[in-house]
Amino acid sequence: MLVNQYQRFNKPFIAAIVSLLLISCQAPVAATGTQTPIADSGGKTQFRHHEPAVDMTPQRALALLQFGNRRFVGGELRSREHTNEVAATAGKQDPFASIVSCIDSRIPPELIFDQKIGDLFVSRVAGNFVNNDILGGLEFGSVQYHAKVIVILGHSGCGAVNGACQDVRQGFLTDTLANILPAVQTVREFNPDMPSDDPVFVHKVAVKNVKLNMEKLLDRDTLLRDLTAKGTIKLMGAMYNVGNGQVEFKYKVVNGKVVAL
């Protein structure tokens, strides 16, 4: 009788102990969009490289960027040994994404997406627009290196966009800002009474500029358009907030059309 009572009393306790032992024996599983931490010979935490870009899905590539920006915003950047990264990429690179961003000094794509050397192709120009040179670079990334996502990245407080809104004319900058004027004109049609120096107006132009350049890419680059249509790559539009570091994805492509998320 005493033995039976002892066994009944300890069944829940024994079950709990067994569960804890089973959990402690399981290998850690990395969340989607993260990399599995390992310890190097010096005891420092390193991260395994993502799978090869050629084997990556466009959705996985986008998730890596999204999770990276979350880490950046949350102050949880991965520990890096840049010297090791330089050595590891000296003979090869394996970028999984291409970013078209502004030259603004506050927007370093590798940092805001928390990616390492060799992970991103980056094309930067004042006003983050595409032209034949930028499109050629994007083709190089997606065809030769299998980069699976292209992001047209605008940002708040953009000086180039503000200059286009004010119709600034200055040397070669005049030609540069001319690439943003279609966005200025489009926003002006729907906001005829809003002053050009109104921050709200300027921000609307910055957002519209992202969408129009996505459409320009699809219209002018048949190679990238076909890759997008086949689902081989994703084309996304996003805005970076210089005030809090957050990247907000605003546009995607559906059936060949740029649509809001």
> Both tokens of residue 27?
């290998």
Q: What's the confidence (pLDDT) of residue 44?
A: 38
Residue 17: inside a domain: no
Does 18 reside within a domain?
A: no
Task: Report yes or no on 60 lying in a domain.
Answer: yes
Task: Encode 109-146 in three state secondary structure.
Answer: HHHHCCCCCCCEEEEECCCCCCCHHHHHHHHHHHHHCC
Q: Which helix (H) or strand (E) holds 62?
A: helix 58-73
Within-domain flag for 177 = yes
Check which CATH number belongs to the domain holding 142 and give it.
Answer: 3.40.1050.10
Q: What is the pLDDT of residues 38-92, one digit of tens each?
A: 333 333 334 445 788 988 999 999 999 999 999 999 999 888 888 888 878 888 8
Question: Is the residue at 26 inside a domain?
Answer: no
Residue numbers of the domain that contains 165: 52-260
Is residue 37, in this structure, part of any structural domain at all?
no
Flag whether 43 is in a domain. Answer: no
Asked if residue 111 belongs to a domain, the reply is yes
Q: How confident is the model over 188-229, as pLDDT tens digits?
A: 999 999 999 999 999 999 999 999 999 999 999 999 999 999
How many domains does the structure of the chain reveal? 1
Give me the amino acid identity at 210: V
CA geometry: angle at 234 spanning 232 and 240, to 5°?
160
SS3 state of residue 221: coil
Confidence (pLDDT) at 85: 85
pTM summary value: 0.81
